[in-house]
Structure 1
Amino acid sequence: MYAVKAMPRPRSLTPAQLADAALAVLDRDGLPGLTMRAVGARLGTSTMALYRYVADRDELEALVVERVLDGVDMRPPLDVPWPDGIRELVDRVRAGVGAHPAVVPLLPAHRHRSPGILRWGEAALAVLTRGGFAGTRRVVAFRALLAYVVGAIQMEHLGALGGPGTAVIAALPRDEFPLLAETARAAGAVGPDDEFGGGLDLLLDGLARQLDG
């Protein structure tokens, strides 16, 4: 009789290995290319083998979000005025996410369950609280800040001023859309840092006036 050879067991994967492979696929192929099949191919394993580690693509996306945010310092800045502390927190997350722009659409989708996003929120609230925000005023300030950060990062990477969309708007008929066309033409002189930082300054200035009012 011939001895029956046992099939080799699939090698074990760590969450970090799975997240790194998924992030590599995302960076290469964008969000539409993030599939279980593509990640399995990257790891040299079958698609079905991945379901030993994640239940579905949604869980895979969550791993990617955490892998990106793992490199972001989520500690609230100390011994600085609250607007400077908020700017520092915002700049950290912008830089971390900016290294992997294809992850941007996943941030709002996972904002309620991502430990990284929740830690960032806790740090931002600590800075706002130290600045004197409390109660409903703190609620509104935090929501406005969150909306700006998520929205502005998306605009920077998915609808940048230097992208083709601006040229389309600039070419609109001036008799029908004079202000849109003029604003789009002026947008060519605005760099991404000026756009992002300028919008954040407007928001923080408005929040500061709320405290003084």
Structure 2
Amino acid sequence: MDPESLWSAAERPRRGRPPARSRAEITASAVAIADTEGLAAVTMRAVAARLGAGTMSLYSYVPNKETLLELMIDEVSGDHQLPNEPSGDWRHDLRQIAHEQRAIMRRHPWLPAALPTRQTLGPNVLAVLEYALAALAPTGLDAQARLETFTLLTGFVASHMSYELAQERAVEATGRTPGELLDAQARYLHSVVASGNYPHLARALAEPSGNQNPKAVFDRLLDRVINGIAPGA
């Protein structure tokens, strides 16, 4: 994939008649399919059918599915609603970025699985990256470390959301409530630790578990990640 060709060149069909479609229209249709049916359902044929176009006609705008996925990732990254400038409180700003990422991944549950396949950075992703690097300036980390920190933050959010969304799907499949499943898991683990073979686990289970609401769990883990980035800053 040629990032310069993808992002820098003016959009135009590669050959033939005046454009009947736009790359943005094709991307939006692909995102809509992924949101409702999952990433596997996104094919050039499916997108063409949604648009009422011939499959081959789309290749004048998007050469392959891999390129379409890059466009989709950047499209939904434009959903970030961040201030024009960081606040100066880098911990607050990182939490805000992470919560924006979580909200976007909940709206587009295919995104966590798509991110590891990304080969380039589109304009919307670059805008978020630039904001994050500016937000991290007060930490005193060098520029490369700030880049790595943003990657770490995004990786944490994507990994956690993959788990959170998978758990929700599992709950839906069982027909039981989250509370019922947690109670069943707790009964099982307490029966296991009664053997005395798992003393560390027994101590952990003996302590209050805290709020198990998905957002509360996310916040606790996010704080641990952020607090380890630059403890002295």
1:1-213, aligned counterparts within 5 Å? 12-73=20-81, 77-110=85-118, 112-134=120-142, 137-138=145-146, 141-160=149-168, 163=171, 167=181, 170=185, 174=192, 179=201, 190-209=212-231, 211=232
TM-score normalized by structure 2?
0.70
Runs of 4+ in structure 1 deviating by more than 6 angstroms, as ranges, are 175-178
For residues 38-74 of structure 1, the C-alpha deviation after alignment (integer angstroms, 9 at most, x for no partner) is 1111000111111111111111112211221122135
| Structure 2 alignment gaps of length 5 or more | 1-16
**Structure 1 residue 160: deviation in Å?**
4.8
**SS at structure 2 position matched to 1:193:** helix
Between the aligned partners of 2:64 and 2:114, the Cα distance in structure 1 is: 15
Higher RCO structure, 1 or 2 (CA under 8 Å, sep 6+): 2
The residue identity in structure 1 corresponding to 2:192 is R
Paired residue total: 200
Q: Look up the equivalent residue of 1:192 and give its one-letter code.
A: P
| Alpha-carbon shift at residue 76 of structure 1 (Å) | 6.2
Pairwise CA distance, 1:100: 1.4
Distance (Å, rounded) in 1 between the aligned partners of 2:148 and 2:61: 39
Q: Which amino acid aligns with 2:219?
A: G
Identity of paired residues, percent? 28
Root-mean-square deviation (Å): 3.5
Cα 1:85–1:56 shift into 2, 3 Å: same
SS at match of 1:16: helix
**CA distance, structure 1, for counterparts of residue 42 and residue 128 of structure 2:** 25
Greater Cα offset, 115-124 or 171-180: 171-180
Counterparts of 1:140 and 1:20, CA distance in 2: 30
Structure 1 segments unaligned to the other structure (5+ residues)? 1-8
- Residue 152 of structure 1 and its aligned partner are, at CA, apart by 2.0
Confirm or deny: 8 A CA contact 1:31 1:102 kept in the other structure.
yes
Deviations 1:131-186 (A, max 9, x none): 32226654553443232122223222234597479959935782699649x87xx9
Relative to the length of structure 1, the TM-score reads 0.76
